[in-house]
Amino acid sequence: MRAVVQRVAEARVLVESEVVGEIGRGLLVLLGAQQEDTERDLHTMLDKILHLRIFDDEAGKLNLGLLDVDGELLVISQFTLLGDCRKGRRPSFVEAMRPESAERLLDEFVRQARQRVRRVETGRFGAMMRVQLENSGPVTLIIDSRKSQ
Name the catalytic one among 80, 112, 122, 140. 80
Specify which residues 26 forms β-bridges with: 8, 72
Amino acid at site 69: V
Does 125 participate in catalysis according to the annotation? Answer: no
State how far the Cα of 82 lies from the Cα of 79, in Å rounded to an integer: 6
Of 6, 78, 109, 122, the catalytic one is 78
C-alpha angle with apex 63: 10 to 67, nearest 5 degrees?
A: 55
Active site residue 79: yes
Residue 91: Cβ within 10 Å count? 13
Verify whether residue 55 is a known catalytic residue.
Answer: no
Looking at 16-129, which runs of residues are DSSP E strands?
Answer: 18-23, 26-32, 55-56, 62-64, 72-77, 120-122
Q: Give the span between the Cα atoms of 109 and 48, in whole angstroms.
A: 12
Pick from 28, 34, 20: which is nearest to 127 by CA? 20
**Catalytic residue IDs:** 78-80
